[in-house]
Amino acid sequence: MKVLAITQARYGSTRLPAKILKEVNGQTLLEVHLLRILQSKSIDKLKIATTDEEGSKYIVEVADKLGVEFFKGSVDDVLSRFYGTAATEKPDYVIRLTSDCPLIDPNVIDAVVTFAIEHPEYDYIHTDAKSFPDGLDTEVMKFSAIEKAYNDANLKSEREHVTPYIWKNGTANGGNLFNTYDFPNPAGEYNANDYRITIDEPEDFEVIKALIENLGIDRGWKDYIDYLLKHKELYEINSKFANNEGYAKSIANDSIINK
């Protein structure tokens, strides 16, 4: 059983350029992100899916520093880039992560992977967005599922965001092409989906910076949320932003593409 983790990382960003290369306590957020993933006990290998942009050299520098392999691919067809990163490895399962989640939790990754392996009837499992904080997004899928998406997805939004073709056509969403499951947050009392520990906006960086400076980079996600619960002034800095704004924008400008 081979489990490959892939995190998407690019230099460009419309709302916050080079956001993953911003530093806190002398470490880039990308380095923090990778170090936290590498604490996972369930992954066999971690790779970065980056782009051919000029700025990607800075991402490669961080990858080389930590001994993490990388693959360069399309800026806009992220599904193609993601599949290309996985294809040479031929894993049984692929974990999709994104580098705008610097405080991704290795224990959450392990919980979702363990569930996937124990329930092989599922093709795709995703952390439930209604109960996990924005910033812990973890998707675990069979390689066969991402391969089918790569071959069949033809909407711009499906290529830009990698997995919409899977979850839109999954059983958890009323579809029938994939057997899918939304993995619930066991700590439901936190009402955790009200909190953002991701980085898309300048205000998000203020929050992440404060969390790392006060708690370090090795805490579990509950510690970070508890800190926001106790410091409402910090929570309010980025609480106005909606989740998945990028995907909503893609849907508004969607079109069929020729592959």
pLDDT score of 241: 87
pTM score > 0.85 for this model?
yes
pLDDT score of 191: 67
Cα(111)–Cα(106) distance, rounded to whole angstroms? 9
Q: Are 196 and 207 in contact (CB under 8 A)?
A: yes
Coil, helix or strand at residue 251: helix
Q: Convert the pLDDT of each residue in 189-202 to its tens digit.
A: 566 678 999 999 99
Cα(83)–Cα(209) distance, rounded to whole angstroms? 32
- Judged on CB neighbours under 10 Å (0-12, 13-18, 19+), 100 is buried
Cα(96)–Cα(252) distance, rounded to whole angstroms? 24
Cα(104)–Cα(110) distance, rounded to whole angstroms? 11
Whether domain 3-186 has CATH 3.90.550.10: the reply is: yes
* DSSP code for 44: S
- The Cβ of residue 126 has, within 10 Å, a number of other Cβ atoms equal to 22
Q: What kind and span of H or E run contains 124?
A: strand 124-127
Concatenate the DSSP letters of all residues of 168-209 into one string.
HTBGGGT-SSB-EEEEPPS-GGG-GGG-B-S-SSHHHHHHHH
Beta bridge partners of 6: 47, 96
Record the tokens describing residue 195, joined without a space.
């909190």
Q: Within the chain, which residues score under 50 in pLDDT?
A: none
